């Protein structure tokens, strides 16, 4: 069976963990000195190594012969943990969040470990527990038996009661720096014989927002789409805007060329580009220009490839710092609504005509322009075009009215996928090129990628995001399942009434 790359390359010792040196050093010290706490709390954004470190810690505390604070991987205890010893319990609080689950856990903690030194409970997404479950857990945390260790992991520390947080030794996992992620990607690609360019590795790193797991999954996806993973391949897979288009738009803004703006945005919209992503990419471009204008050594801060950096730098020549900040404020204040194209065009035109925007920033920008002698009279507004826009008919495929769902292949599936472009890029990436069918009350998904199934099975948030997108287009969060080709007919899952929780069936059917 194909093993997802992020699983295959999951570190087995603290020394192998990328980008969390302070945390791993502290944990290694604790193991070396035998100062082991009974409750750990690992918090931080997804994909930064919380679960990985929890698994290593569970092994290290039980290892008979730890090496420099790392599990040896060879003793009988290490081997038992690797093969799934019963003394190590992983609980996903997202699906076991009730007080009964915790009561059951409290009964179990009274028993000695079957084999190992410590029973370790790893509770993932612990913020999902209900209030009464927290209360029950707190009782256990107050007086944990000697042989018990809790490792709680969460992406949302603010949702945890202070009483729980205060009983744990807390570790904050940082976003992993882009260079660390791209180095790791290059190493993985090298071992897997994937032809990955340095530029593409950097782009994947910058798209992953500090999460190494997402970055490796994304590499996995790109490698399944193309033999050579270059910038073009990554852009195709994630739907990000073409850098050249962004440069052209910035050029139009600097030259006050509204015809150019309409021409480019019309084309991008027609080609299926997401206007929200476009504005996000423009904001990122402006931010990089601001870095170039204000810092001594901007290149590493922008994370851009040398060619892109040079282009951004020459684009920045056409903008003053105040004007860049005005533009940034204009873009970041936009809410893309039911007419994304008009919203995007309005935003860009506002940048060209700050005088029609009466905010303080625009006044500054006007004064500055007057001082430069560049603009002394108001420019004619792009009247014809601006008036045409509101008359445009709604596209119909947008989110006003749910699309009708019918048995057979879903015609609006691409719209579902497009919704994920901004909210969940890795998920969007793995759904790229997929089809979906509706049968017996379920949406059955036919994705050519095994990483899609990996993601849905291992990541409840991804599953919820997908169902959310389905609900937006089809008006209801229909249960999902895999599509099984059987003489071209869509097969439903074994029992149609396991309704909302297709995960088990999903796994069984696929593997």
Q: Which residues bind Zn ion (CB under 5 A)?
A: 63, 71-72, 75, 78
Q: How far is CA 94 from the centre of its chain?
A: 18
Q: Measured between alpha carbons, how far is 351 from 332 in angstroms, rounded to an integer? A: 12
Please say whether the beta carbons of 323 and 368 come within 8 A. yes
Q: Is the Cβ of residue 82 or residue 169 nearer to Zn ion in the bound state? A: 82
Q: Measured between alpha carbons, how far is 12 from 34 in angstroms, rounded to an integer? A: 20
Q: Is the Cβ of residue 62 or residue 96 nearer to Zn ion in the bound state? A: 62
Please say whether the beta carbons of 48 and 171 come within 8 A. no
Q: Measured between alpha carbons, how far is 219 from 9 in angstroms, rounded to an integer? A: 12
Q: Is the Cβ of residue 70 or residue 140 nearer to Zn ion in the bound state? A: 70
Backbone angles phi, psi at 300, to 5 degrees: -65, -30
DSSP 412: T
Minimal distance, residue 195 CB to Zn ion, in Å:
37
Joined together, the tokens standing for residue 63 give 């290892």
Minimal distance, residue 81 CB to Zn ion, in Å:
8
Minimal distance, residue 31 CB to Zn ion, in Å:
11
Joined together, the tokens standing for residue 34 give 């035998």
Q: Is the Cβ of residue 78 or residue 410 nearer to Zn ion in the bound state? A: 78
Q: Is the Cβ of residue 73 or residue 468 nearer to Zn ion in the bound state? A: 73
Sheet-wide strand order for 442-446 = 408-409, 435-439, 442-446, 480-482
Q: Measured between alpha carbons, how far is 238 from 112 in angstroms, rounded to an integer? A: 49
Minimal distance, residue 426 CB to Zn ion, in Å:
34
Minimal distance, residue 173 CB to Zn ion, in Å:
24
Q: Is the Cβ of residue 82 or residue 359 nearer to Zn ion in the bound state? A: 82
Q: Is the Cβ of residue 71 or residue 481 nearer to Zn ion in the bound state? A: 71
Backbone angles phi, psi at 90, to 5 degrees: -105, 120
Please say whether the beta carbons of 451 and 465 come within 8 A. no
Please list, in sequence order, all residues whose beta carbon lies within 8 angstroms of the beta carbon of residue 131, skipping any fewer than 6 positions away. none
Minimal distance, residue 18 CB to Zn ion, in Å:
22
């Amino acid at each position: 069976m194909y093993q997802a790359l992020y699983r295959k390359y999951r570190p087995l010792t603290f020394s192998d963990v990328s980008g969390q040196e302070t945390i791993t050093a502290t944990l290694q010290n604790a193991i070396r000195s035998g100062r082991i706490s009974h409750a750990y709390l690992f918090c931080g954004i997804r994909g930064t190594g919380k679960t990985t470190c929890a698994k290593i810690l569970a092994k290290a505390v039980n290892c008979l012969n730890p090496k420099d604070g790392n599990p040896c991987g060879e003793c009988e205890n290490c081997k038992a943990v690797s093969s799934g010893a019963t003394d190590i319990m992983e609980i996903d609080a997202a699906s076991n969040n009730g007080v009964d689950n915790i009561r059951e856990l409290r009964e179990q903690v009274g028993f000695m470990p079957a084999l190992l030194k410590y029973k370790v409970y790893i509770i993932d997404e612990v913020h999902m527990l209900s209030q009464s479950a927290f209360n029950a857990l707190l009782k256990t945390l107050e007086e944990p038996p000697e042989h018990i260790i809790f490792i709680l992991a969460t992406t949302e520390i603010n949702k945890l009661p202070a009483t729980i947080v205060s009983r744990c030794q807390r570790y904050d996992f940082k976003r992993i720096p882009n260079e660390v992620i791209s180095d790791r990607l290059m190493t993985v690609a090298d071992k897997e014989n994937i032809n990955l360019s340095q530029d593409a590795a950097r782009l994947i790193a910058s798209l992953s927002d500090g999460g190494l797991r997402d970055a490796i999954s994304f590499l996995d996806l790109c490698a399944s789409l193309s033999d050579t993973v270059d910038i073009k391949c990554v852009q195709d897979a994630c739907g990000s805007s073409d850098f050249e288009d962004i440069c052209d738009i910035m050029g139009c803004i600097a030259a006050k060329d509204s015809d150019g703006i309409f021409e480019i945005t019309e084309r991008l919209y027609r080609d299926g580009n997401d206007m929200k992503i476009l504005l996000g990419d423009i904001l990122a471009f402006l931010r990089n220009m601001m870095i170039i204008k204000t810092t001594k050594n901007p290149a590493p801060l922008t994370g851009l490839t040398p060619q892109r950096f040079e282009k951004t730098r020459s684009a920045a020549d056409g903008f003053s710092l105040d004007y860049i900040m005005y533009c940034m404020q204009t873009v970041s204040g936009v809410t893309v609504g039911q007419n994304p194209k008009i919203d995007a065009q309005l935003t860009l035109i506002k940048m060209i005509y700050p005088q029609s925007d009466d905010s303080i920033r625009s006044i500054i920008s006007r004064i500055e322009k007057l001082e430069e002698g560049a603009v002394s009279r108001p420019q004619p507004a792009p009247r014809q075009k601006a008036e045409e826009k509101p008359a445009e008919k709604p596209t119909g495929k947008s989110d006003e009215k749910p699309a009708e769902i019918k048995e057979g292949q879903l015609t609006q599936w691409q719209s579902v996928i497009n919704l994920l472009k901004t909210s969940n890029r890795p998920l969007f990436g793995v759904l790229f090129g997929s089809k979906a069918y509706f049968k017996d009350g379920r949406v059955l998904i036919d994705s050519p990628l095994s990483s899609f199934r990996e993601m849905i099975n291992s990541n409840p948030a991804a599953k919820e995001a997908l169902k959310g997108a389905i609900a937006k287009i089809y008006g209801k969060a229909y249960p999902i399942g895999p599509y099984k080709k059987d003489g071209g007919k869509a097969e439903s899952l074994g029992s149609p009434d396991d309704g909302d929780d297709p995960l088990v069936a999903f796994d069984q059917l696929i593997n």
